[in-house]
Structure 1
Amino acid sequence: MVNVNGKPRHILSYLQDFLFTPHTSRSPITKLSGGERARLLLAKLFLQPANVLVLDEPTNDLDIETVELLEERLLEYSGTLLLVSHDRSFLDNVVTSTIALESEGIIEEYVGGCEEWLKKEELKKTPKKGKGQATSSPLPTLDATPKRSLNNKEREALKTLPSKIENLEIDLEKLSSLMASADYYQDPQSDVSGDAKRVEALEVEILKSYEQLEGLEAN
């Protein structure tokens, strides 16, 4: 189990958020590809409790899939983020304000990403032809749709899923311990292939149960 935003989660469920399958999650780090290792580092980073993140060129050497994953995680991050990046698209997708070093050593802060800053720079260069007319835009309306209530079947599932998950994890731990014992592979009665399939089936069932539980708790 790991603690994510103050809530316990199964490690396999958490790693799935970073595009790891149950099979890949159990692989040695030496067997992982470069992109998978980068995603594993991100998974470890976002487990650390922190109110401030400082990132220097975080997209360097990351593939497109991992960059998109990093963007999603940073958008969900509730703390303060300070980052330096040459990736304009990444900045536009993530940041809410830009600090720019202007001419003569002047530092200015602008609302929005790199694209917004460039637009303001162009406006500075455009000769003014007169006073502009202020316009107002309507404020965005908040989605006031209430959360739907759970039906009887869903309430029953919400009640029983924790114990079901606990039992599945106990079964998985017992089977994993059995397969890790020194005598297991020397015992002719050991069903190596069958037990490996049962381990994978248990991991998949645990993941599905956690996803179902999280979905019900969100309502």
Structure 2
Amino acid sequence: RNRLLLARLFAQPANVLVLDEPTNDLDIETLDLLEALLTDYAGTLFLVSHDRAFLDNTVTQVIAAEGDGVWREYAGGYADWQRLRQERQAAAARPGKAGGKDKPRAAATREKKLSFNEKRELDALPDRITALEAEEARLHAQLADPALYQKPPEAAVQLKARLDAVSAQMAEAMARWEVLEALAGD
């Protein structure tokens, strides 16, 4: 019966499929058939599933609820989402720790003056942040291009990984800029 329903589903032309827990109550053969059909499907697929292996085998992007009403898009399957989410959390934790350590130490050891190197760094940071913002915008545009998702998923995964790295670098540069501005303003 499940195979018949799948056959009927894929016999009708459609460019969007919305599937909610499609792996429930499927035997292994039908699950393999569904994976194969969805992998070859050329349209857009919205898929909700708790089957992590199924998600890894079929999807090229994950849209995940991050909490507080925030939804974030990740390139790749479930395992890629887990890895990128952990990297993002680790990157977000690093600038906060560094900024927290630098401020008290800087206030205690400096006489409210920036060194020559810090002044140069402060002058260069706006240009660096602008360049990172431009690269981030370029990467967003590439990831928004539907043609990217007609190719093997590795390209999208690489672009998303680079986007995450650029975002982390930009967060670090912004945090450093705030620290230097605070020191210069004292």
Greater share of helix: 2
| Greater C-alpha Rg | 1
In the superposition, the TM-score normalised over structure 2's length comes to 0.48
In the superposition, the TM-score normalised over structure 1's length comes to 0.41
